[in-house]
Structure 1
Amino acid sequence: MPVPEHKFRAPRNRTITLSPEEQRLYHQGLLKLTEPLPPEALENCTIHQDSLAILDWLPWAWVDLLFIDPPYNLTKTFSSTVFKERSVREYADWLESWLPRLLKTLKPTGSVYICGDWRSSAAIHLVAEKYLTVRNCITWEREKGRGAKSNWKNCSETIWFCTASDQYTFNVDAVKLKRRVIAPYTDPKGNPKDWQRTEHGNYRLTHPSNLWTDLTVPFWSMPENTDHPTQKPEKLLAKIILASSNPGDLVLDPFLGSGTTSVVARKLQRRYVGIEQDQTYCCLAEKRLALAAQNPAIQGYAMGVFWERNSSQHD
């Protein structure tokens, strides 16, 4: 994103930005639909459009994994777009005005993840259970946030995990978390019980739960950071994509933002389609995709496992 003249960035700031020349360059690679196109014409593209305006042009039964991160139910400005807070009923009605049409893109074996917060989660659950099998609700710690004098500080968000049927992908071994062992129990011979000794310390692989406390919200010194106000961590998307898709599968994000879903899908050898109505964020996504081709690393994910936050392998 072009940096305003008054905005100073520290020398170690690694935030991804766009020069005017880059904006013009990456804009040329964006796709804009004027009619329905075959699936192969959409794959691995960033579509610069309002996703809700082109839902009926998207192929049916085409998507393996659908990641939905809609505007939450609060008043917020996203570049040139303003979303205003509604009642829970009104927010549910808004979701229901487009979600069934979007779900037509999903394969019968597909999975859906829908993001929200405490204001929107009740509505998401009510609408999702009408059309999908709701499997779980993930709570992830968003450690950023302002303190409140007369309320609890809001530092978590939710993700509803749903499937189109009882036949779906879930690769549990691909998303285990490597945690440091606090109490390293051993058997009578001194061998580790359900943990491993390594040169970095004592660790065990743990099954993934629906409480995620190992994520870091992108900030200025992280190479994935952008100026998007609600950017999701690449590590978060990696968990979802590895668990609920296989290499070569197609991942669709109809509210792409700065491109995290497409970027992580590319890094993990999945096909992707992202739809975003803001031109600057679309161009940021394209720049991040180009960077991903050069460096497929995902912070917090190394050697085939996820590491707990602030461990020696986190970066």
Structure 2
Amino acid sequence: MAEKTRAERNRTLTVSENEIPALEKSILSADDLKKSFVDNAIVNANLFDCLEYIPNDYFNLIIIDPPYNLDKDFHGKKFSSMKSSAYEDYLRSWFYKVCDKLAPNGTLYMCGDWKCTSSMQRVIEERLTVINRITWQREKGRGAKSNWKNSMEDIWFAVKNPKDYYFDVESVKMKKKVIAPYRVDGKPKDWDETESGNFRITYPSNFWGDISVPFWSMPENTDHPTQKPEKLYAKLMLASSKPGDKIFDPFLGSGTAAVVARKLGRNCLGIEINREYCLWSVKRLINASGDKSIQGYFDGVFWERNSLGDQKKQQASSKSSIKVKEQQNALSLFG
């Protein structure tokens, strides 16, 4: 694969020709899956060639980011837009079988944009119960002269059994800076006063305005044209799965689901038809083994966009508190 010339500060992940032989050893084929099923792997294959080798009622969580109903070139794998009815038939061609792989109390999320989201809702509701629609702000691009800038995407939240599914809201709370602190009897009301600033821990809504789309200065960035942010998938996984749970991504792309699963202690089976994307995914997994951080997720909570400075202050404050406690404990040993 041809290597691009990049600016010195560009941290976009690349794979050199010399790295390919070693990375390929970690990629499975559909035949490998047929011989011995594993629930934590990257499979380079067509989804239709793999589904019969995956057990039904198996995965706790399925995250789907399929091709939207747009003309898009995925590095040689082209997808063409079509009429809504034809697109819905395309979704049905694999969605029903993917749903069969979901555990009875499992959860499924499907990503879409304004053009295909209504088609997705119709097809999803043919097999599952929709619990909610998440809309997240995809703040990227300069906009259009003859239309409103398209900066929103949807994620459909659906389950097999609306009376029995896992959802941990405590794990996905937001930490927001308090601009106008409200006090009662001189004390903070529903917010905390800290050395690094005033903050409020809030319950998450179904509108996410805190997501940063990967770009050239972020180490998670790749050249994939529709890459999803690690922070986005971290919210889905923390809310709807437990450590050790099994996750399935039938359109793995550049590997975000697999990477986030590894960072959060989950298992992920990802299928991707593009060989180059599989190589990126493996390299990202290797990098994730030494770096468990997720941009915008720190100290067990999700922070607002552009709050890195506040996070660093919080981290410094935490380290300072730990050091003080260590000194106090050391002094206590001498009575």
TM score, norm. by length of structure 1:
0.95
Structure 2 equivalent of residue 29 of structure 1: 26
RMSD of aligned residue pairs (Cα, Å): 1.4
Structure 1 equivalent of residue 238 of structure 2: 242
Structure 1 equivalent of residue 323 of structure 2: none
Q: Is structure 2 residue 201 aligned with structure 1 residue 205? A: yes
Structure 1 equivalent of residue 251 of structure 2: 255
Measured in 2, the distance between the counterparts of 1:219 and 1:234 equals 12
Q: Deviations over 1:238-282 (max 9, x none)?
A: 000000000010111010011000000010000111110111110
* Residue among 41, 45, 54 paired with 1:49: 45
1:1-315 to structure 2, matched below 5 A, reads 2-4=1-3, 7-34=4-31, 37=34, 41-166=37-162, 167-188=164-185, 190-311=186-307, 312-313=309-310
| Deviation for aligned residue 1:145 | 2.4
Aligned residues: 310
| Greater share of helix | 2
2:15 alignment partner, SS class: coil
Measured in 1, the distance between the counterparts of 2:310 and 2:258 equals 24
Structure 2 unaligned spans of 5+:
313-335
Whichever residue aligns with residue 161 of structure 1, its letter is F
1:42 alignment partner, SS class: coil
Whether the 8 Å CA contact 2:248–2:269 is kept in 1: the answer is yes
Whether the 8 Å CA contact 1:251–1:272 is kept in 2: the answer is yes
TM score, norm. by length of structure 2:
0.90
Whichever residue aligns with residue 201 of structure 1, its letter is G
Q: Deviations over 1:150-208 (max 9, x none)?
A: 111101111100011121111000000100112111111x1111000122211101111
Whether the 8 Å CA contact 1:114–1:161 is kept in 2: the answer is yes
Measured in 1, the distance between the counterparts of 2:310 and 2:180 equals 20
Whether the 8 Å CA contact 2:129–2:161 is kept in 1: the answer is yes
Larger Rg: 2
| Deviation for aligned residue 1:144 | 0.5
Q: Percent identity?
A: 50
Whether the 8 Å CA contact 1:301–1:314 is kept in 2: the answer is no
